Amino acid sequence: MTMTIDSPRSQTPAKKRTNWEKWGWVYMRVSGVLLVVLVFGHLFSNLMIGDGVHAIDFGFVGGKLSNPFWMVWDTLLLWLALIHGANGMRTIVNDYVSRPGLAKAFKVALFLSAALLILLGTFVIYTLDPCPAGADPSLVASFCATR
C-alpha cells in the first residue's frame, strides 16, 4: 500500500495577481497611438484651420472649450499625456535609481505631481468661462454677448 502526503500548495488555490508591469507596457503602446492622433488633431485644428497661430488668444481657447467635443478631446489629451509621461518616468526611476527609499520618494513625487496636474487641468477645461463679465469685447470669443 502506497501512502501519499499532500503538499500544502495543492490544497490552496493559486492567487491571481495583476501584472502591473505588463499592463503599464500595454498602456504605453495604446496611449502612444491615441496620443499621436490627439496631438496631430489638436495641432491641425489650432494651426492649420483659420488664421493659424495668429488667431490663438483667450477668445479662441474660450470658444474651443465651450464646445463639448473639444472639451472631451482636450481632456483625453491631458489625461493620456500626463499618465503616459508619468509612467515613462516611473520606468526610468525603476531602471536607474538603485536605492529603494529614493526610488519610492521619486515615484510618490511623480504620482502626486501627475495627479495634481490632471486635477487642475481638468478643472480648467470644465470650468473656464469663455465670456467673463467685464472683459474687453475684442478679447473674448465671438459668440459672447458684449456686456
Please report how the helices 68-96 and 20-43 are oriented relative to each other, as an axis angle in degrees rounded to 10: 140
Query: What's the CA gap between 43 and 35, in Å, rounded?
Result: 12
d(CA 102, CA 89): 14
First-residue to last-residue Cα distance in the chain: 98
Instruction: Check: CB of residue 24 under 8 Å from CB of residue 87.
Output: yes
For residue 112, count other CB atoms closer than 10 A to its CB: 11
Q: Which residue has the cell 492622433?
A: 37
Residue type, 79: W
Sequential pLDDT tens for the chain (147 residues)? 666 666 555 566 677 888 888 998 999 999 999 999 999 999 998 888 877 788 887 778 888 888 899 999 999 999 999 999 999 999 999 999 999 999 999 999 999 999 999 999 999 999 988 777 877 777 666 677 654
